[in-house]
Chains A and B, each alone.
Chain A
């Protein structure tokens, strides 16, 4: 068959995309943060886009977690591991060392230090003096806890109900649907999202390691979705007879060995 005669080419001719907004990451953020709620306005400016933007519809295990990205107690232990410090200095160092991507208020610092002290992971010689005057240092128990935490693998097993997987499995039940076109819609959307993260990285100073690391984490997470879409494309192409539901009321569980749980 002459594939050219059956071409479904939808490659539209469009003008080239304009170049990314110039200027510093701060200028980008000024622009970026405008549509965000007033709660976001209260946060410090730099690099916050990467935190806010992480809540994409393609996020999985990180979505809806109250403190999704960072263990503040362990970060404070790490900052205390080189020398004893006051709370305010810990706050400043925390924000500086994370490229100001993770804002942390001083109240959170003192609450966390109290818990660490209660658990014997830090200590202070300054007794009942005002909290801002106290200088904290890490204990040997705290050092062991920090070392253990750094080496403990995070939970990499997400709940088995990825929305995209469910969409594709549901699409397979619909008679006559072009599953490859469905996969392509998602592929394009993920790549467009990746382009935006890459723009953030490209606009930042190349020496800004914190921005690069956070952007890379999102880029590689999104790239894993692309790889899944690519694999799905090939698998479904090799299995063209994968049956849609024979009857309109047949449930998902009845048609495929893959179980879909909500």
Chain B
């Protein structure tokens, strides 16, 4: 089966000559539908670069990036833009909601930009908000919401419609640990409905919500977890 996201030997080099910086070095990564993968690593290890390349916001210097089996280098700029609008959802640390719009208008914005009529977009948006339990806030303006509520709306916006890949860069931002956990529960819930999720975080207790944790160091994917599914292994070694 085709992976929702596949990075094959992806490298990214910024600058040239003596100022050359190798942000990513021959990284392989596959993420399946229904899977939540966390990326951890120290500052400058390439976490955010990996996410922006996976989301087609930046191009790799070498290697292939496939979203739903489609090689991003093999399609036109406008096709990539359409893929970003339709298939890929982004969640940012600072939410990036538009203050002048209500919560549901923020959620439906990518749908309307993609040419879907306002009425149909609102219905789809409300359905997604109900799934993520934020429908109560639908008609409140973004700046009337708490930090935790804003991030839930932002996650809804990232998964609304036909999105198949969810990319989140430090999505818990300045939220406290319990609200941060709520965000991770939402991301996990979204992936359980068939979306593939990749979340960059430096907080281990949040990364532990992922099915798999990939470790980056100096641009290399050096390791990943192979946690058995259940908690029984907590006792198995005794």
Residues of A within 8 A of B (CB): 2-4, 7-14, 16-21, 28, 31-36, 49, 52-53, 55-57, 180, 184, 187-188, 190-200, 202-203, 206, 216, 219-220, 222-223, 226-227, 230, 233-234
Contact = CB atoms under 8 A, between A and B. Distances in A.
Interface of B: 11, 22, 25-32, 34-35, 40, 42, 62, 177, 185, 188, 192, 203-205, 207-215, 217-238
Given A195-B225, A226-B204, A8 B231 contact: no
Given A16-B212, A49-B234, A11 B222 contact: yes
A198 B213 CA distance: 13
A28 B87 CA distance: 36
Helix, strand, loop or mixed for chain B's interface?
mixed
Contacts of A220: 205
A222 B207 CA distance: 13
A175 to B, nearest CB: 22
A209 B40 CA distance: 28
Given A32-B234, A49-B231, A53-B231, A12 B26 contact: no
A103 to B, nearest CB: 16
B204 A191 contact: yes
Given A17-B229, A21-B229, A32-B235, A10 B223 contact: yes
7 contacts: A3-B22, A35-B238, A191-B213, A198-B205, A199-B231, A216-B177, A219-B205
A55 to B, nearest CB: 7
B181 to A, nearest CB: 8
The 3 nearest A-B residue pairs measured at CB = A11-B221, A53-B234, A194-B208
Contacts of A12: 224
Given A17-B212, A188-B215, A195-B213, A223 B205 contact: yes
B223 A184 contact: yes
A193 B226 CA distance: 11
Contact of B235 (A35, A184, A199): A35
B25 A20 contact: no
A220 B214 CA distance: 20
Given A28-B230, A194-B204, A223-B205, A19 B211 contact: yes
